[in-house]
Amino acid sequence: MQIQTPEWVKHAVFYQIFPDRFAKGEPPTETRKGIDKGWYPSTVESWDEPPTPQGYKGGNLWGVIEKLDYIQSLGVNAIYFTPIFQSTCNHRYHTHDYYRVDPILGGNEALRVLIDAAHDRNIKIVLDGVFNHASRGFYFFNDILENGPHSPWLHWFRVEDWPLSAYDGSLPANYVGWIGNRALPVFNHDNPEVKEYIMQIGEYWLEFGIDGWRLDVPFEVKTPGFWQEFRDRVKAINPEAYIVGEVWSNCVQWLDGTQFDGVMNYLFTGPTIAFTAGERVDIEKVKHCDYIASPALSAMEYGQKMQELLQLYPWEIQLTQLNLLDSHDTARFLTIAQSDKASVELATILLMTFPGAPSIYYGDEVGLPGAFDPDSRRGFPAPAKWDNQVMEYHKQLIVIRHQYPALRTGAYEVLFAEGNVYVFARILGDEEIIVAVNIGTEAVTANVIASKLKSQPNKVIYGSCEISWQGEGDASQLQLSLPSRKGCILS
């Protein structure tokens, strides 16, 4: 079987937005009867105060629309939103209505305007599909709470006994909630009605104009053929729609070309943190994660892990993985690295030059810190609080990624991996790019055998280093001098 993945994803740089915390905006002043522009609450938390688990700060899609020029200025050309459908929690993973954008976010009209405005800028929109579980407020489950065994929707969920206890923790819930959370009743995916309902949601929003789905905990859905059918139905509407799963571990069973186009690539995240931050990693900030970010890795160990990762899945899938350093489910990397800025820059170099689509979690590009949820979900800071140096190197690296096709679809060849120095090439036809990082605290000179290259890249397009080439062909050798805790890119 020939595997096909969306071509645009191979050339995308994603920006992940947690809608309640990115930006507040106002709907257009003109009014149209019958149009739902949302409803802005009068009581929300202060934007700049530390976030609380249940508090709302009032960010909305109108605010995102107002910031599209900013997002575009970064070089970003795709946005992944955490859930936006009606819900009674700030993160919106407790879905009430899969067909209505949360009124606080601006309703369906805000999404309509956002999609059109983003597409005008050639920016794609990917939404979060929470299809493993719903919420206590989801109409079909709420009917069961009201009518008990007489509900017509009884078999949409996994009821075990009566009476159901949706709120009183002193009593057994008597229904299956995700990881035992009674706020998140799990769908009965074996029920054909439930399956069809979810398939139609996937189709509806593709027809509305979104460009793909990020699937929340898809590994929890055990019904045979479920994700294969989801893919078939979605691709029938838009063959270039992106389907990316949240799976933190080895994903071979989902990345066979019949289900997902990629996953959130935490198998890249963990080793990259362990390599670039090393002993600086705050173990308390990573020990509850499902990726492995400690102990510190040498260049050789990191290179081995990257080569193992690149051998796990077909190349077509590798090019549409969603690569990241952090997300709403983790502490921010700056905080994991105990505010060591060099670690973040080194990791960002590796992120922007690795096969697959890089993803920036909102605020990382301006140096926003954050520990575990809810702290990793802070309000996006005002410009006066931005780290402009961090912003600048993000922009530089994104420009370079867009400029050189080899960094997007070229082969990945490790050239040197000893001690603290890691050097690799991205090769596409005659275009050859060399990327080098020194994670050590001392300057170093490395002699890199470059017999795998046809050319001798000698233009420094990022970072600072000294280079000289000797020999030709199989005897070609690069002498590369790197400052401490720095990286460079050669073309």
Q: 138 burial class (0-12, 13-18, 19+ CB within 10 angstroms)?
A: buried
Residue 171 lies in a domain: no
Last residue of a domain, which of 380, 403, 426? 403
pLDDT of residue 367: 98
Residue 140 lies in a domain: no
pLDDT of residue 31: 55
Helix (H) and strand (E) counts in the chain: 14, 18
pLDDT of residue 139: 97
Residues 93 and 232 in one domain: yes
Residues 224 and 100 in one domain: yes
Residues 325 and 438 in one domain: no
pLDDT of residue 7: 98
Residue 172 lies in a domain: no
Residues 379 and 432 in one domain: no
Residues 439 and 354 in one domain: no
Residue with tokens 């199989």: 474
Last residue of a domain, which of 379, 403, 427? 403
Residue 419 lies in a domain: yes
Our answer to whether residue 246 is catalytic in this structure is: yes
Residue with tokens 């053929």: 225
Closest CA to 334 of 300, 303, 360, 297: 360
Residues 415 and 392 in one domain: no
| 268 contact partners, CB below 8 Å, separation of at least 6 | 306, 309, 321, 323, 324, 351, 354, 356
pLDDT of residue 44: 94
Q: Count structural domains, the chain.
A: 2
State the catalytic residue, choosing from 128, 246, 340, 432: 246
pLDDT of residue 33: 55
pLDDT of residue 174: 98
Residue 162 lies in a domain: no
- Please list, residue by residue across 319-340, b when 16 or more beta carbons sit within 10 angstroms of its beta carbon and e when fewer do: bbbbbbbbbbbbbbbbbbbeeb
Q: 41 burial class (0-12, 13-18, 19+ CB within 10 angstroms)?
A: exposed
pLDDT of residue 41: 84
pLDDT of residue 447: 95
Positions in the chain whose pLDDT score sits under 70: 30-35
Q: 425, 413 in Cβ contact below 8 A? A: yes
Residues 295 and 429 in one domain: no
Render pLDDT for 400-459 as a digit per residue (tens, 0 to 9): 999 999 999 999 999 999 999 999 999 999 999 999 999 999 999 999 999 999 999 999
Which residue range(s) make up the domain with 277?
7-132+187-403
Could you tell me if residue 83 is left (phi over 0), alpha (psi between -120 and 50 degrees) or otherwise beta? beta
Residue 176 lies in a domain: no
State the catalytic residue, choosing from 102, 109, 128, 216: 216
Q: pTM for the complete prediction?
A: 0.97
DSSP conformation class of 338? T
Element (H, E) at 197: helix 192-208
Residues 420 and 359 in one domain: no
Residue 157 lies in a domain: no
CA distances from 195 to 101, 228, 268 (A): 21, 12, 32
Residue 173 lies in a domain: no
CA distances from 431 to 51, 100, 237, 457 (A): 46, 47, 36, 9
Last residue of a domain, which of 403, 434, 462? 403
